[in-house]
Amino acid sequence: MKNHPLTIQDARRGFARAATTVACGALLLTLATSTSAAERQTLRGHLPEAVARLNLQPVGRLPAANRLNLAIGLPLRNTNALNKLLQDMYDPASPQFRHYLTPEQFTEKFGPTQQDYDAVMQFARSHGLEITVTHSNRVLLDVAGQVADIEKAFQITLRTYQHPTEARQFYAPDVEPSAVAGLKVLDISGLNNYSIPRPASHGASGKTGPVPAAGSGPSGSYMGKDFRNAYAPGVTLTGAGQMLGLVAINGFYTNDIKKYESMAGLPNVPIQVVLLDGFNGIPVGDTPEISLDIEMAISMAPGLSNLVVFEEGPPNAVHILPDILNAMAAHPQIKQFSCSEGEFGENVSSDNIFKQMALQGQSFFTASGDGDSWVNNVSLPGVWDGYPGESAFWPADDPYVTSAGGTSLTMNGSGASYASEQVWNRGNDWPGWDGSGYEGSGGGTSPGYAIPAWQ
């Protein structure tokens, strides 16, 4: 092939064609940008069902100058491969069995891209929202801003309503929030406070209960070594070298823990506190549930090298569960987590973080709640998880966690050995948390999740 010299006329004609092409492209880009600017994607799952189901009418509007903390969730990538890996990782016959990922490997394989994360940050900043926390797995972006800016960003109005079962008002958007089309946004935690986390504590039972004076503690209560005598007799494993993480919606008094250890003859287990979402760690009021969680962990595993308490608070504040879970997933050295708090409000971002934990070989145990059995998927407004019509105590029914229900234990002697046990059930002789009159250990068939491959 011969080479033909390029003349000045050829160059001018080429430049003219190129300039015309660029101009046309710029015009098309301007038109496309104008069109896409008007397009929005609706983000589902942010309206408390009680508002529509009970036809609640707003009683006011959240002040425009109020400041809210939010966590914007981003969707995972390669979800088909993720679900297949989850199935294989827990299949003893698979070569992938227990080949757990590190947080960095999870982010590389399944986390949102840096480009998508940057785009969400730019969206938030362009609407006057402050970036408060970034997360290494890019699954969450924490932001804060005034109500007026949040309403403009997501095209909502934050109304206030009277809670149907509690003596308080709550706020919620009047419509589902939306974001610009194409932006990788999954959900937004913190846009309503219909559900406020509370301890899933088990009170004394009028129907079933322990035999009086069956434990070694004051007035025959169970404490300390009684629990290992009941559930791990003759077992030499003490949790040595292991770490345990706890969810806490408040601070706790360290002197309470030291006094319990002294009374029960238990060692002093080091406790580390991870403060989240601006909480200062100062306890508000009584903290029996958190102290109980810590004391039971030390009683069952007195050899723990460290107990890590992930704290958000104070009580009656808006709590963002994805922030707690993401902090836990970022601590891969902790293989066990426990939660006895309930009524966070379900969201997809939390479910995605539970998947990350499972892929990293981390186990999450949660209380099944005191709302009695999940029968026929029927409940009343105000049920523990804050979603009327769903009687499961989320996240207890999430397939990526282990749900633990309460029982009534009877022991021989003064906490010497296990005698018998039955499900904790108070029956219909008390108002109950959901107003139905029934209170007992939760459990049953999930109304929202199919049976997973490994169950």
For residue 148, the domain's CATH number is 3.30.70
Cα–chain-centroid distance for residue 191? 15
Query: What pLDDT sits at residue 438?
Result: 67
Residue 288 pLDDT: 84
Could you tell me if residue 62 is inside a domain? yes
Same-domain status, 319 and 297? yes
Clarify whether residues 355 and 437 are in a common domain. Answer: yes
Nearest to 33 by CA among 178, 181, 151, 179: 181
Kindly state whether residues 387 and 255 are assigned to the same domain. yes
Do 271 and 407 fall into the same domain? yes
Q: How far apart are CA 60 and CA 66, in angstroms?
A: 14
Q: Is residue 91 one of the residues assigned to a domain?
A: no
Q: How many domains are there within the chain? A: 2
Between CA 443 and CA 451 the distance in angstroms is: 14
Q: According to the model, what pLDDT value does residue 440 have?
A: 80
| Per-residue DSSP letter, 111 | S
Range of the domain at 129: 49-76+111-189
Distances in whole angstroms, Cα of residue 37 to Cα of each of 25, 127, 180, 292, 360:
18, 14, 7, 52, 39
Q: Are both 271 and 225 inside the same structural domain?
A: yes
Claim to verify: residue 295 and residue 399 sit in the same structural domain: yes
β 67-73/187-189 pair status = antiparallel
- The one-letter code for the residue type at 83 is N
Q: Give the 3-state secondary structure of residue 155.
A: coil
Q: What is the structure's pLDDT at 211?
A: 61
Q: How far apart are CA 369 and CA 405, in angstroms?
A: 7
Specify whether 297 is located in the same domain as 182: no
Residue 14 located in a structural domain: no
> Does residue 377 fall inside a structural domain?
yes
Q: Which residues contact 82 (CB under 8 A, 6 or more apart)?
A: 76, 109, 110, 355, 359
Choose the final residue of a domain: 168, 189, 210.
Answer: 189
Cis before 388? omega within 30: no
Compute the distance between CA of residue 390 and CA of residue 384 in angstroms, rounded to an integer: 10
Look at residue 82 in the predicted model and tell me its pLDDT. 97
What contacts 403, CB < 8 A, 6 or more positions away?
Answer: 365, 366, 367, 368, 396, 397, 442, 443
Give, for all 455 residues of the chain, the pLDDT tens digit: 444 444 434 444 443 444 444 444 444 444 444 444 459 999 988 988 888 888 889 999 999 999 999 999 999 999 999 999 999 999 999 999 999 999 999 999 999 999 999 999 999 999 999 999 999 999 999 999 999 999 999 999 999 999 988 888 999 999 999 999 999 999 999 999 888 776 655 455 445 555 656 899 998 899 999 999 999 999 999 999 999 999 998 899 999 999 999 999 999 999 999 999 889 999 988 788 899 999 999 999 999 999 999 998 876 677 788 999 999 999 999 999 999 887 677 789 999 999 999 999 999 999 988 777 775 444 433 333 333 334 467 888 889 999 998 888 999 989 999 999 988 887 765 554 445 556 788 888 777 788 888 77
Bridge partners, residue 403, by sequence: 366
Taking the C-alpha atoms of residue 137 and residue 134, their distance in angstroms, rounded to an integer, is: 9
Dihedrals φ, ψ of 41, to 5°? Answer: -110, 130
What pLDDT sits at residue 453?
81
Is residue 4 in a domain? no
What pLDDT was estimated at residue 289? 85
- Under DSSP, the state recorded for 218 is G
Q: How far is CA 416 from CA 156, 201, 222, 276, 300, in A?
A: 60, 25, 10, 40, 15
Query: How many whole angstroms separate alpha carbon 439 and alpha carbon 206?
Result: 11
The domain boundary, picked from 134, 156, 189, lies at: 189
Does residue 410 lie in a domain region? yes
Question: Is residue 230 located within the same domain as residue 316?
Answer: yes
Residue ending a domain, among 151, 169, 189, is 189
pLDDT at 428: 66
Asked whether residue 391 falls in the same domain as residue 430, the answer is yes
> How distant, in Å, are the alpha carbons of 172, 365, 444 from that of 148?
14, 39, 42
pLDDT of residue 431: 52
Same domain, residue pair 242 and 172: no
The answer as to whether 181 is a domain residue is: yes
The reply to whether 119 and 213 lie within a common domain is no
Q: How many CA atoms lie within 13 A of 80 on its CB side?
A: 0
In a domain, 53, yes or no: yes
Same domain for 342 and 279: yes
H helices within 182-312, ranges in order? 226-231, 254-264, 288-300
